[in-house]
Structure 1
Amino acid sequence: DLGHPGRRESARQLLLLAKDRAVVPLLKALADIDYGPARPELAEVLVGLLVRTGDQRIAHDLSRRLGNDPDPMVRARIARAAGLHRRVEFLDPLLEAGLTDGDDEVVHQTLIALGLLRSQLDNHQKERLLTTAASLVSRPHKGVRTEARILAEARVAELVDLGRSRVLSAEMAAAESLYQAAIAIVPDNKYANYRLARLRYDRGDHEAGLAMMRTHGMLLDVPRAGTPPH
Structure 2
Amino acid sequence: MIEKILCAGVESAEAFADPPGILLFPEEEVLVAKAVESRRREFATARNCAHHALALLCEAPAPIVRRERGAPQWPAGIVGSITHCAGYRAAAVARVRDILTIGIDAESDEVLPDGVLDLVSLPDERARLRDLAAADSGTRWDRLLFSAKEAVYKAWFPLAGRWLGFDQAEITLSPTAGTFEARLLVPAPKVEGFPLRGFTGRWLASDGLILTAIALRAGTLAATHDAADSAGTRVPGLV
**Is TM (by shorter chain) over 0.5?**
no
Which structure features the higher share of strand residues? 2
Q: TM-score, normalised by structure 2?
A: 0.25
Which of these two proteins has the greater Rg computed from alpha carbons? 1
RCO (CA 8 Å, sep 6+): is it higher in 1 or 2?
A: 2
Which structure features the higher share of helix residues? 1
